Amino acid sequence: QKEVEQNSGPLSVPEGAIASLNCTYSDRGSQSFFWYRQYSGKSPELIMFIYSNGDKEDGRFTAQLNKASQYVSLLIRDSQPSDSATYLCAVNGLNTGFQKLVFGTGTRLLVSP
């Protein structure tokens, strides 16, 4: 079982719709969760992080965490063509006292005009 699993997609949504990206993780001890956006040919860019169960909103983005189900999601409201990218879910691994992010393979999002 992979440590962090994502559907590779592509996930296709029309402009203005809500895009829902999902991620599951295997390590129950994980404490912090991150979403990165990666445009083609570019490096990953942090867009959100969440530590507590529930929702965290930042502009058009909402991260949702359910530790009991070991599930993290990212909702993008009013999707724009510029949101077309690969979205990487990352989980902070075993508590070593340092950050150590384990990444999923990413979900490719396509937003059509």
Site map for another protein, 43-72, x if CB under 8 A? xxxx--x-----------------------
Residues of this chain, 74-113, that bind another protein according to CB under 8 A: 88, 90, 92, 96-106
Q: How far is the CB of 98 from another protein (least distance, A)?
A: 6
Binding status of residue 29 toward another protein by CB under 8 A: no
Which residue lies nearer to another protein by CB, 18 or 42?
42
Report the distance separating Cα 96 and Cα 93, nearest Å. 8
Q: Does 26 bind another protein (CB under 8 A)?
A: no
Q: How far is the CB of 75 from another protein (least distance, A)?
A: 19
Asked whether the beta carbons of 90 and 39 are under 8 A apart, the reply is no
- Give CA separation, 91 vs 11, 13, 70, 100, in Å: 22, 26, 11, 8
Length in residues, the chain: 113
User: How far, in Å, CA of 50 to CA of 72, rounded?
Assistant: 9
